[in-house]
A and B are shown apart, each in its own frame.
Chain A
Amino acid sequence: MAQGWLQIGIFVAVLVALTKPVGVYMARVFTNQRVFLTPLLGPIERLTYKVLRVRPEHEGQDWKAYARSLIVFSLLFWVALYLVLRTQGIQPFNPQGFHSGPWDLSFNTSSSFVTNTNWQYYGGETTLTYFAQMAGLAVQNFVSAAVGIAVVVALIRGLVARSGREIGNFWGDLIRTLLYVLLPVSIVGALFLVSQGVIQNLGHYAAIHTLAGGTQTLAGGPVASQEVIKELGTNGGGFFNVNSAMPFENPSGLTNFVELLLILVIPAGLTYTYGRMVGSQRQGWAIFSAMFVLFVGGVIVVYMAEQHGTPAQHLAGLHTHAFDGSTGGNMEGKEQRFGIADSSLWTAVTTVTSCGAVNAAFESLTGLGGAVPFVNLSFSEVVFGGVGAGLYTMLLYVLLAVFIGGLMVGRTPEYLGKKIQAREIKLVSLGVLFTPLVVLLSSGVASATTLGKRSLSAGVNPQGFSETLYAYLSQANNNGSAWAGYTGFVQPHTPGNVGSYGISFADLLGGFVLIGARFAPILFVLAVAGALASKKVSPAGLGTMRTDNPTFVFLLVGVVVLVGALTFFPAILLGPVVQSLTTRLF
């Protein structure tokens, strides 16, 4: 395992090293300062504003105006995506002749991509045209990521505003994020991925005669351009059904390393951006540290659990120890080129962030290894989290921790010189509790009714319960990874949606969960930003509780773990914990 720990160690070190430069760059972008790309992109930015008829520098929005622009924009894009999916049969770039998707599945998929989730009931290469992948899904990979980042930038502005109402301009934040952050990295990253073997073409699938005399059809598609933003925007929707396990998406240990970095670089960098924008780097590092502790803990648990193997394998007489030339461990649903270490690292990375891309089959994880994704999601994606979404949710927990800390020492809670009062705490509580509530209600309904059972593949047992709970945990937290046996789509005759239909209950419940658990917290966050923006900053005194030291980091981790554990522990017990405690089969 030493080599595996080395890989994980290097990854973590590179991530920490990138946090500052990326964070500084983004801080400059969000505060309208010059960056090295300004000479090239400045004219394009101004042209875009002209086309959109907005003047971000002169039109500050209060939280309500900001929220209105965001909601209207997202709603229209939802409609656009739904139309693309429902009419793909008549669109160009459809060499395979795929038909349009069913209404309920398309509802779920549209909701999934507009909310930065990329939960996938559909199978990419068997149901979607290249046009739908490019002009439908990949566009949302950019846009939904930019929306998340815009929200956290607005919240930060609210925190630092010296009394006022304005928290920025949505259109400015959106366009600057797309133009200066997401698009340049995507262009460079996509070309790098192609150079390593990720495919990028628009051709017909290639039927070949194999060496042993059989036949095989090699899928095609504009994969690299979508792969890069899928990771960078913590979206996670694979071009292929098996996502980043497919060699055409992720061909080597090197692409795997780069893709992992792409997933975490913005969420980690944003903590530094935060420190810079609030004028105290220590505040940013405090949040980074809390996230880091929870992240590393998860990696260690998955890796050790997966290296152990599963009860089914041991009972079949398989020896799962490592020896010269073999990784050992639970290789079911894993790829040789990633082995146990990289699959485990990926599993932790993709579930602490709300990415949800996978390079191994989650449903085939060991009981304990599989518990880690559950636990990561039950922390409401605050451990780095989705781009923007992770930090803004974490900031709600920060405010909660400040409030609890204030109660413990008996002082009015203050954060960055701003008093945290009843209105803020009400909004924070709503923001923190909304998503868990949605998860418990929806997975409860799906488990208890016969309608929900139609989606199960493992049957009515702990594995089946894991499938259901994870489905709604993942959709509500806008993650998108899955215990993939759970389905909302039946495709009897591949390919191309011929004779296929959605499972309406799972599609609709999931779709509403996706939308609710994305946009309700965003509204609460923007409301908090608005409430804080108008508060005066009082200078820190002797009695001010510090929020940039290890004590506060400890408190913050404690609050995150407590809220997550108290909400989800009983449910997680019934699924992965049962499986990790027994060697019985069912």
Chain B
Amino acid sequence: MKRDLLTSLIAVAVLTLVLGIAYPLAITGIAQVVFPGKANGSKLTLHGKTVGSILIGQDFKGVPAYFQSRPSATGYAADATFFGNVGPNSVEGREEVRENLAAYLKLNKPYDRSLTRAQVPVDAVTNSASGVDPQISEANARIQAHRVAVVRGLPLRKVEELISAHTDGRALGVFGEPGVNVLELNIALDELGPTGRKSDISTRFRPVGGLGGGGDEG
């Protein structure tokens, strides 16, 4: 017993040092040297300013010139994630989908008269798991392309080309589902902008009262 206690004490100390400190710090060191961009969150920049991470979805609500991310139960928080926990038989779940569906049609139908409820893809009106899903489905992007093209005064074909360019296929052609990276796509759209300055574009397209005090002035 006494011997077990002593051995255990040493083991706890040694294993904590090796597995809890040396191992993660060594991996961090190697990662920071070999894959610095990825190890630090795959950040994206526009005109020299960091505007997000390619892996983390953002809120584009109220700015119709941007492709919209999937609904989020967490307000797109990337530092305090949690699940929506909406059950399959919950009234709350029905109301949420109903509202999302109505909002999606209201936003996109003016630009695509043939759009019907049956064509709305499920990802467009359901909460993602992480709350920061960076992608939307290809069908969702194709519907929104009509709106973005009109609002930005771009030919639809140009927007569709950009969608294709920012669609991530299945890994190795097999694993996962294809998805369109929303932030990357929106950055690409901004880079097309007439003056090339982000603030001009978002100000120009921002609907009155759309972002309630938010802004990127400066």
Residues in A lying within 8 Å of B, measured CB to CB: 6-7, 10, 48, 51-54, 68-69, 72-73, 75-77, 80, 123, 125-126, 134-136, 138-139, 142-143, 171, 174, 178, 183, 186-187, 190-191, 194-203, 205-206, 208-214, 216-220, 222, 224-226, 240-242, 245-248, 251-254, 256-257, 309-313, 315-320, 323-339, 341-343, 359-361, 363-367, 370, 457-458, 462-463, 483-485, 494-495, 579, 582-586
Q: How far is the CB of A189 from chain B (nearest CB, A)?
A: 10
A interface footprint on B21-37 (CB within 8 Å = 1, 0 otherwise): 10110111011101100
A interface footprint on B134-173 (CB within 8 Å = 1, 0 otherwise): 1111111110000000000000000000000000101110
Contact A210 B38 (CB under 8 A): no
Closest to A366 in B: B88
Q: How far is the CB of A371 from chain B (nearest CB, A)?
A: 11
Question: Which A residues lie within 8 Å of B202 (CB)?
Answer: 211-213
Closest to A222 in B: B24
| Separation of A486 and B97 alpha carbons in the complex (Å) | 23
Query: Within 8 Å of chain A (Cβ to Cβ): is B195?
Result: no
A interface footprint on B166-185 (CB within 8 Å = 1, 0 otherwise): 00101110111101000100
Tell me which of A219, A343, A579 contacts B79 (CB under 8 A). A219
| Separation of A498 and B54 alpha carbons in the complex (Å) | 31
Contact A332 B35 (CB under 8 A): no
Contact A330 B30 (CB under 8 A): no
List 16 interface pairs A-B (beta carbons < 8 Å), by A numbering. Answer: A53-B10, A73-B11, A199-B39, A208-B50, A212-B59, A253-B175, A254-B171, A256-B176, A316-B94, A317-B97, A323-B121, A336-B179, A337-B133, A337-B135, A337-B179, A370-B88
| Separation of A108 and B4 alpha carbons in the complex (Å) | 25
| Separation of A190 and B59 alpha carbons in the complex (Å) | 30
Q: How far is the CB of A171 from chain B (nearest CB, A)?
A: 7
Contact A254 B4 (CB under 8 A): no
Contact B4 A364 (CB under 8 A): no
Query: Within 8 Å of chain A (Cβ to Cβ): is B208?
Result: no
Contact A52 B31 (CB under 8 A): no
Question: Which B residues lie within 8 Å of A462 (CB)?
Answer: 89
| Separation of A216 and B44 alpha carbons in the complex (Å) | 13
Contact B176 A338 (CB under 8 A): yes
Contact A199 B16 (CB under 8 A): no
Q: How far is the CB of B93 from chain A (nearest CB, A)?
A: 4
Residues in B lying within 8 Å of A, measured CB to CB: 1, 4-12, 14-16, 19-21, 23-24, 26-28, 30-32, 34-35, 38-43, 46, 49-56, 58-63, 66, 70, 76-91, 93-98, 101, 117-118, 120-123, 125-142, 168, 170-172, 174-177, 179, 183, 186-187, 190, 198, 202, 206, 211, 214-216
Not counting A312-B91, A318-B97, A332-B86, a sample of 4 additional A-B residue pairs whose C-beta atoms are within 8 angstroms of each other reads A126-B79, A199-B40, A216-B59, A333-B126
Question: Which B residues lie within 8 Å of A194 (CB)?
Answer: 27, 31, 34-35, 38-39
Contact A330 B81 (CB under 8 A): no
Q: How far is the CB of B26 from chain A (nearest CB, A)?
A: 8
Q: Which of B84, B90, B216 has the most CB of A within 10 A?
A: B90
| Separation of A360 and B84 alpha carbons in the complex (Å) | 11
Contact B177 A463 (CB under 8 A): no
Tell me which of A222, A330, A336, A365 contacts B133 (CB under 8 A). A336
Instruction: Decide: A225 near B211, CB < 8 A? Known: A256-B176, A484-B82.
Output: no
Q: How far is the CB of B88 from chain A (nearest CB, A)?
A: 4
Question: Which B residues lie within 8 Å of A579 (CB)?
Answer: 87-89
Question: Which A residues lie within 8 Å of B14 (CB)?
Answer: 48, 51-52
Q: How far is the CB of B122 from chain A (nearest CB, A)?
A: 4
Contact A211 B58 (CB under 8 A): yes
Question: Which B residues lie within 8 Å of A310 (CB)?
Answer: 88-89, 93
How many inter-chain residue pairs (CB < 8 Å) link A and B? Answer: 416
Closest to B65 in A: A212
Instruction: Decide: A212 near B60, CB < 8 A? Known: A80-B16, A241-B81, A361-B129.
Output: yes
Contact A72 B8 (CB under 8 A): yes
| Separation of A174 and B8 alpha carbons in the complex (Å) | 12
Contact A51 B171 (CB under 8 A): no
Tell me which of A216, A242, A253, A324 contacts B56 (CB under 8 A). A216
Contact B176 A253 (CB under 8 A): yes
Tell me which of A6, A10, A139, A326 contacts B122 (CB under 8 A). A326
Question: Which A residues lie within 8 Å of B142 (CB)?
Answer: 325
| Separation of A409 and B86 alpha carbons in the complex (Å) | 51
Contact B27 A364 (CB under 8 A): no
Contact A72 B4 (CB under 8 A): yes
Contact B127 A332 (CB under 8 A): yes
Question: Which A residues lie within 8 Å of B122 (CB)?
Answer: 309, 313, 318, 320, 326-331
Contact B129 A77 (CB under 8 A): no
Tell me which of A199, A203, A210, A326 contacts B58 (CB under 8 A). A210
Q: Which of B30, B85, B87, B186 has the most CB of A within 10 A?
A: B87
Q: Which 8 A-B pairs have the closest CB atoms?
A: A253-B176, A325-B139, A339-B177, A135-B20, A326-B121, A254-B171, A312-B93, A245-B129
Question: Which A residues lie within 8 Å of B30 (CB)?
Answer: 191
| Separation of A214 and B171 alpha carbons in the complex (Å) | 31
Instruction: Decide: A585 near B90, CB < 8 A? Known: A139-B15, A201-B32.
Output: yes
| Separation of A178 and B11 alpha carbons in the complex (Å) | 12
Contact A200 B27 (CB under 8 A): yes
Question: Which B residues lie within 8 Å of A337 (CB)?
Answer: 133, 135, 168, 176-177, 179
Contact B137 A364 (CB under 8 A): no
Contact A143 B28 (CB under 8 A): no
Closest to A68 in B: B4
Contact B171 A252 (CB under 8 A): yes
Closest to B218 in A: A209
Q: How far is the CB of B24 from chain A (nearest CB, A)?
A: 4
| Separation of A219 and B35 alpha carbons in the complex (Å) | 18
Instruction: Decide: A336 near B135, CB < 8 A? Known: A316-B97, A367-B89.
Output: yes
